[in-house]
C-alpha cells in the first residue's frame, strides 16, 4: 500500500476544454472572474491528473497534464487581471489611496 490516503480524482483528457458558451466576448468584470475561476479549476484538475499519472509511472500523461495545468493557470491569471482592470470602482479606490500616499512623501 504505497498510498494510504486515497483521493478521488476526476481524470481529464486533452480534449477537455472550457465550455463553448464561454468563448464569446465578455462584457462585465463578473464574466471575467467566472472565466478565471473556470481556468483555475481546470488547472487544479490537471495537476491532480498529473500527480496520478506520475504515481502510475506514466511520464507522457504526466507531462501532458502538467502542460495543460500550466496553460490553464496562465489563462486564469490573464482573465483575473482583466477583471480587475475592468472594475472601475477598484480604479477609483486605488486612485484615492495613491493620491493620499503622495501627500505623505
Q: Name the residue ranges covered by the structural domains of the chain.
A: 27-88
pLDDT given for residue 1 in this prediction: 37
Q: For each successive 10 residues of the chain (105 residues), what is the average pLDDT?
A: 44 50 69 96 98 98 98 97 81 61 56
The whole-angstrom separation of Cα 29 and Cα 35 is 10
What is the SS3 assignment for 76?
Answer: helix
Nearest residue to 7 via CA among 48, 46, 47: 48
54 to 43, 64, 72: CA distances (angstroms): 16, 11, 19
Sign of CA dihedral 40, 46, 50, 51: positive
The whole-angstrom separation of Cα 74 and Cα 23 is 16
pLDDT given for residue 3 in this prediction: 45
pLDDT given for residue 80 in this prediction: 95
Nearest residue to 55 via CA among 68, 65, 43: 65
pLDDT given for residue 92 in this prediction: 61
Amino acid at each position: 500500500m504505497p498510498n494510504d490516503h486515497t483521493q478521488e480524482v476526476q481524470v481529464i483528457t486533452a480534449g477537455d476544454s472550457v465550455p463553448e458558451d464561454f468563448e464569446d466576448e465578455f462584457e462585465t468584470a463578473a464574466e471575467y472572474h467566472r472565466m478565471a475561476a473556470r481556468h483555475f479549476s481546470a488547472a487544479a484538475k490537471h495537476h491532480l491528473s498529473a500527480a496520478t499519472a506520475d504515481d502510475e509511472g506514466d511520464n507522457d500523461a504526466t507531462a501532458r497534464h502538467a502542460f495543460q495545468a500550466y496553460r490553464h493557470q496562465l489563462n486564469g491569471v490573464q482573465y483575473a487581471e482583466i477583471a480587475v482592470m475592468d472594475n472601475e470602482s477598484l480604479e477609483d479606490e486605488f486612485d484615492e489611496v495613491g493620491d493620499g500616499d503622495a501627500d505623505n512623501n
